């Protein structure tokens, strides 16, 4: 899920993506960039679930999020956070210093 926000952090829209692989978080970059420009968003928040119940992000989750953040920053969008949601809790990559 992607939340699109104004520069002030006000909600504009959300986009839900259903991935095809359970072992990794798929970030639909082209679609997200297009939608962010269409909405004139400035900030984004990502969230995805871990069906295993453990909210700890995988190495792939962390790397893909960092790459996504770099690409979005080059286009003048800020990735505020990426949450991993599971039965065991919610993990914030930002609060834990991963992005």
| Tens digit of each residue's pLDDT (9 = 90 or more) over 12-60 | 999 998 765 555 566 788 999 999 999 999 999 999 999 999 999 999 9
pLDDT at 25: 61
Report the alpha-carbon distance of residue 82 to residue 79 in Å, rounded: 8
- pTM, two decimals, is 0.90
Stretch (H or E) spanning 11: strand 11-15
DSSP 28-80: -HHHHHHHHHHHT--EEEEEEE-TTS--PPPHHHHHHHHHHHHHHHHTT-EEE
Q: Tell me the percentage of the chain whose pLDDT exceeds 70.
A: 92
What are the structural domains, with CATH classification, of the chain? 2-18+25-92 (3.40.140.10)
């Amino acid at each position: 899920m992607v939340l699109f926000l104004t520069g002030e952090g006000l909600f504009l829209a959300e986009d839900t993506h259903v991935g095809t692989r359970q072992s990794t978080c798929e970030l639909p970059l082209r679609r997200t960039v297009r939608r962010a420009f269409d909405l004139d968003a400035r900030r984004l928040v990502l969230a995805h679930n871990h069906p295993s119940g453990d909210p700890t992000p995988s190495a792939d989750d962390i790397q893909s999020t960092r790459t996504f953040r770099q690409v979005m920053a080059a286009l003048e969008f800020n990735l505020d956070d990426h949450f991993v949601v599971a039965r065991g809790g919610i993990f914030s990559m930002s609060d834990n210093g991963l992005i």
